[in-house]
Amino acid sequence: MNACIFCQIIAGKAPADILYRDEWVTVFRDAHPVAPVHILIVPNRHIPSVNELVPEDEALSGHLFSVAQKIARQEGVDQDGFRLMVNCGRGGGQTVFHLHMHLLAGRRFHLPF
């Protein structure tokens, strides 16, 4: 069995609150939310991190933003605002090594954090 928890969710073999799915991405709520809205936008293909993206993934990378925009509207947070975050590598705070974009909203965010 694939040890990657996000691959398991995408394959329907692990539970998740799935909000959206298309041929490229699956979107589900974070299991340990750090904001009232905390959603993960995850490529269906196993890509460990930003470091492993290749030029052929440019359309997929752009799609992550398109889906983030759609989900922010769907969640009703587009006008107040939201944060998109992609952690890369342990130094970047990445803990699940399957590329994903966080969509965070519902509280105030600041830099530095």
Binding site for ligand AMP (CB under 6 A): 5, 16, 30-32, 40, 87, 93-96
Closer by beta carbon to ligand AMP, 42 or else 77: 42
How many other CB atoms are found less than 10 A from the CB of residue 4? Answer: 16
Q: Cβ 24 to ligand AMP, closest distance in Å?
A: 19
Known catalytic residues are 100
Assess contact for 60 and 41: CB atoms under 8 A: no
Q: Cβ 9 to ligand AMP, closest distance in Å?
A: 6
Q: Cβ 31 to ligand AMP, closest distance in Å?
A: 3
Q: Which amino acid is at 96?
A: V
Closer by beta carbon to ligand AMP, 60 or else 88: 88
In whole angstroms, give the CA distance from residue 49 to residue 43: 11
HEC assignment per residue over 16-28: CCEEEECCCEEEE
